[in-house]
């Protein structure tokens, strides 16, 4: 699994375990967050994927880098 340290390093689409690793929460907590609707997710078949912009919105980050 990849480790991301800043929001600039996030890929366009994350898996739930990647979301958990980025947020510093456990896998079950990350699935709970996704299922609760607190963060926007994409359902692709039986898989859950999280767009980067949804993670940034959840964190209150606009996604633009400022110098």
Q: Domain limits at 28?
A: 11-59
> Whole-model pTM?
0.81
Reading the block at residue 2, the tokens are 């990849």
Report the chain's C-alpha Rg in angstroms.
11
Burial of 20 (0-12, 13-18, 19+ CB in 10 A): buried
Within-domain flag for 65: no
Within-domain flag for 64: no
Count of domains for the chain: 1
Summarize pLDDT for 24-63 with one digit per residue, the tens: 999 999 999 999 999 999 999 999 999 999 999 999 987 6
* Per-residue confidence band for 18, with pLDDT thresholds at 50, 70 and 90: very high
pLDDT of residue 2: 65
- Specify the 3-state DSSP secondary structure of 25: coil
pLDDT of residue 61: 86
Within-domain flag for 26: yes
């Amino acid at each position: 699994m990849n480790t991301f340290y800043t929001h600039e390093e996030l890929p366009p689409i994350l898996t739930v375990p990647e979301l958990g690793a980025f947020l510093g929460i456990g896998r079950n907590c990350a699935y709970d967050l996704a299922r609760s609707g607190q963060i926007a997710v994409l359902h692709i078949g039986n898989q859950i994927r999280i767009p980067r912009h949804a993670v940034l919105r959840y964190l209150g980050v606009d996604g633009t880098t400022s110098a």
